[in-house]
Amino acid sequence: MTTAPRPSALPATLFRLPVLTFPALSHDGRRVAYYANVQERFEIFVLDLPSGRSRAVTHGNAPQSPSTALLWTHAGDSLIYGDDRRGNERHTLYRLRLEEGRSEPLTQGDFRHQAVSLTSDDRFLSVLSNRAGGTQLFRLDLHDLSWQQLTHDDAPVSGGLWSPDGRRLAFARSSRQQPRRSDVWIMNADGSGARAVLSVRADSAEHPVAWHPQGNGLLVNSNAFAAPRAGLLDLDTLEVHWLGDDQSALEENGVGFSPDGLRVLTVRSFEAASVPVWWDRSRGSAAPLDLPTGVVSDVQVRSGQVSFLHSSSTSRPTLWTAEAHKAPRVALEPEYGGVDPSRFVPEQVVRYRSFDGQEVPALLYVPRDRQPHERLPAIVRVHGGPTAHFPRAFHLETQLLVSRGYVVLMPNVRGSTGYGRAWREANLKDWGGGDLEDVVAGAEYLKSLPFVDPERLGVYGRSYGGYLSYLVSVKRPEVFKVAVPVVGMSDLEQLQRDNERLAPSLAHYFRSMMGHPEQDAELWRDRSAVHFAHRLKARMLILHGRNDPRCPENQATAFVERLRAAGKVEGEDFELHLFDQGHATLEEGAQLHAFGLVEDFLARRL
């Protein structure tokens, strides 16, 4: 059956609307730098908050698919950013001098570089890089571009926050023997005197977030509790004052301090929504900012000013700011290209029961214009990660699909963040197990809805969602009529071998989730779709990037070779499209082309 066009279909050209991403608040709190793809290419802009005027500060020299944050110098005269080649995530760092609009390369070589923070005199930049093997912490002298390696661990490190006086660094150190663990450490500016200052549990991860303005403490985050919490670590006593209740389902992730250090800003998350919260240390009170229900991201605080992006299911990302003790205000409105936002469909927050009685939280989107007694095709969208979730944010692909007559279910299957530690850890050493059954239960839930055609169900996901799209199609081949894995994984053993070589930090993450490649080899093989490709019954559309360092191209091509060996016919049983992109792209042309392929495939096959 071919899905007929609907008069209410939103235009796919919404992909061409400007996207505002990676906003960065200057140290004086008066300006916000950001990327935006105005006039079909990304440039870097700076918004002056007092006047409300924004101007482009690059002219053709900005990344065309931004994937790293912008970092302000303390002097406010420059921005540090990274640019890779077609999504390969091996970033060259640049310094953009704002007055001249000129970009100067700071790094050389085909390595991963992530700028973390600058000393207050703007001389030293802390950088996470694999230039010496695994991801380690380096100090880059911006005067002569000389490097000093500060850590020499056998496991990835993270962080690298300079103290206010520039004499110390705070970072997180992980363990190859205990890959789920990371502890907070501090060291001197030259890498000497490193000492551990916080470890809550042997299986928990703690990270530094910000230095106290006086340099005598740290704001830290930990996942050791029922839900993630922020805490204030006193570096003299090593005692921690944790914010919130250790049994609460509310997640509190730290952001930063007020200038006097008496208030702490966090992001509170609950049931896939989030909001910034000011904690008053003297009063012990918490005050969420007054915002519409939705999701915040890129939250920063500088000199008492707060900036963040906010979106909801029916509103595109909007830049907000909030001065101390004042109501938040919109600083930069998104564009809608003539589309009335009232045409977007709000989500329904639902729960459904899985195979073991557990309730799976999900977002459900239903076309507004369905006719009485009409039975619609439905899609289960699966998120990436798996330590991530579908937030109550704006999802353009979902809105486009719903406007074309598809019911869309977006479950936060076990292993998702946002619902407490127990749910987040429910898929440890069980990828493709209980979480796969949650996807199947999502299909059963859709079948129970009177407006869904039970014979026309599809599964669609990218990254880890692509992994489950592959695997559910061959482990439970009777469930879905079509499957669309995008930059997914089909062979966990090969993925680990490639990650050890191309992305050691991801290999470390993978071990923390699925155990040892040799000791758990049987499990890894059982949870790899490539070994069961011959069972495929659904029609499958495979999309993958040739430059993907996270899930290399061979994850798609190896699966296709197994399909061919099983007698499956390309163009009939499956379709494969490879792109000159990486794991993710913000290039509007690439996004529009990929959605066009998905739209056409679903119309023909579902």
Cis peptide before 386 (omega within 30 of 0): yes
Question: Residues 242-247: what's their mean pLDDT?
Answer: 85
Question: Rounded distance, CA 215 to CA 235, Å?
Answer: 9
pLDDT tens for 46-60 read 999 999 999 999 999
* Of the candidate ranges 420-424, 462-466, 585-589, the one whose mean pLDDT is the lowest: 585-589
**pTM of structure:** 0.95
Q: How many CA atoms lie within 13 A of 381 on its CB side?
A: 22
What's the confidence (pLDDT) of residue 501?
A: 84
pLDDT cut 70: percent of the chain above it:
98
What's the confidence (pLDDT) of residue 4?
A: 54
C-alpha distances out from residue 490 to 27, 253, 389, 426, 524, Å: 45, 33, 21, 21, 11
What's the confidence (pLDDT) of residue 1?
A: 46
pLDDT cut 90: percent of the chain above it:
84
For the domain made up of 106-243, the CATH class stated in words is: mainly beta
C-alpha distances out from residue 109 to 70, 90, 104, 151, Å: 21, 9, 15, 20
Single-letter amino acid, residue 206 = E
What's the confidence (pLDDT) of residue 195?
A: 97
Question: Residues 154-173: what's their mean pLDDT?
Answer: 96
Question: Rounded distance, CA 349 to CA 261, Å?
Answer: 38
Task: Select from 463, 505, 489, 510 the least CA-distant residue to 111.
Answer: 505
Q: With 80 as the cut, is the pLDDT of residue 2 above it?
A: no
What's the confidence (pLDDT) of residue 586?
A: 59
What's the confidence (pLDDT) of residue 583?
A: 85
What's the confidence (pLDDT) of residue 505?
A: 84
pLDDT tens for 177-233 read 888 899 999 999 999 999 999 999 999 999 999 999 999 999 999 999 999 999 999
pLDDT tens for 256-272 read 999 999 999 999 999 99
Question: Rounded distance, CA 357 to CA 563, Å?
Answer: 35
User: Residue 563: pLDDT band by 50, 70, 90 thresholds?
Assistant: very high
Question: Residues 419-426: what's their mean pLDDT?
Answer: 93
Domain ranges of the chain: 106-243, 258-335, 347-605
What's the confidence (pLDDT) of residue 74?
A: 98
User: Residue 7: pLDDT band by 50, 70, 90 thresholds?
Assistant: low
pLDDT tens for 105-116 read 999 888 999 999
Q: With 90 as the cut, is the pLDDT of residue 6 above it?
A: no
pLDDT tens for 466-508 read 999 999 999 999 999 999 999 999 999 999 999 888 888 888 8
What's the confidence (pLDDT) of residue 245?
A: 81
Three-state SS for 551? coil
User: Residue 5: pLDDT band by 50, 70, 90 thresholds?
Assistant: low
State the average pLDDT for the chain: 94
Let me know: does 64 contact 587? Beta carbons within 8 Å. yes
For residue 526 the two structure tokens come to: 């059982």
Task: Assess if CATH 3.40.50.1820 describes domain 347-605.
Answer: yes
